[in-house]
Amino acid sequence: MIPFSWSLHLLASEALTLTVTEHVPRPWRERLLTWPWRPWQALRTVTRTEPNPAVLRIGNAVVGHPATLRKFLTARYGAQLRAEGRLN
């Protein structure tokens, strides 16, 4: 018989990010004074990385970005306090 355990191991990895691409308008100064000169190109592409809001469960381990795991743990702690009646 295999013993059953509810314990989860939390693993944080900063590599779990998403790349978000968006187009933002270029100001007139940038359109007129940049090289190569392309004044008719009104938008530029900006990419940034954000923490992945999803967590992965692998066996009894939960893997996620540190910011996501922080939200996960604060929500769990708040739920525990509400269950005990110490939080409104």
Question: What string of pLDDT tens digits covers the 88 residues of the chain?
Answer: 455 556 778 899 999 999 999 999 999 999 999 898 999 999 999 999 999 999 999 888 889 999 999 988 888 888 878 888 876 6
In the prediction, which pLDDT does 14 show? 94
Per the confidence metrics, is the pTM higher than 0.85? no
Residue (of 45, 42, 41) closest to 22 by Cα position: 45
Tokens describing residue 81? 């306090």
Tokens 């996620």 -> residue = 64
In the prediction, which pLDDT does 6 show? 65
Q: H/E element holding 72?
A: helix 66-84
Are 32 and 50 within 8 A, CB to CB? no
Domain boundaries, the chain: 9-84
Beta-strand ranges (E) seen in 1-88 are: 9-12, 17-25, 43-51, 56-58, 61-64
